[in-house]
Amino acid sequence: MDYNLRLLGEANRIVIGAMLNFRQYSTFLLITPLMLHLVGCSGLDIKTPEPEKKPVSAFTGKPQGTPIEELFGKKNKAGSLPVNALLWRAALDIASFVPLDDVDTFGGSIVTEWYVPEGQPNRRLKLAVFVVGLELRSDAIQVRAYVQTRDGNTWTNAGRDADLGRKLEDLILTRARELRAAATSETSN
């Protein structure tokens, strides 16, 4: 019996040792891949994705809007303006007498700051110029002249000055034709 107890004790120690070895072994098997995974990932330089950058206006530094072609599902050629370049240049030339607030080359819009004309201290103007076409035509340019009048210390909206808008459209078209004529004469010489 003593021998059987000794054998039983020896078997218990072997079973307990095997169980401890199994525990250690299973812990090792579970922890080792986890540690290898963490160590492997620690060397990666993971950065969060940056949002898509829109073109920035060279004049104002503000992000620009959606190009006109994208609104209608058309894609413009790489590097080309989505609006008529002559009208765009002429619109910038004509509108430059007023400080510019927002210039969107790809959207074809120019918005000025409020401007008080000389000799009219109780009236101020804000221009919105839109180049909406690819051809040098009168319907490819739109100018909206917003007017405010002074009542004491406050400015109140007086609507739009359609006549001034049409005059500015005509000036822009004339300037665009001058630019085209100058470019044509340079290439023919």
Residue with tokens 């790809």: 106
49 DSSP assignment: P
Buried b (16+ CB within 10 A) or exposed e, 138-160: eebbbbbbbbbeeeeeebeeeee
Which one-letter amino acid corresponds to residue 26?
S
The pLDDT tens digits for 62-73 are 666 555 555 555
Condensed to tens digits (0 to 9), the pLDDT of residues 102-154 reads 998 888 899 999 999 899 999 999 999 999 988 888 899 999 999 999 998 99
The overall pTM is greater than 0.75: no
168-182 tens-digit pLDDT: 999 999 999 998 888
Q: Report pLDDT digits (tens) over 34-88.
A: 776 666 665 656 666 676 666 665 555 566 655 555 555 555 455 556 788 899 9
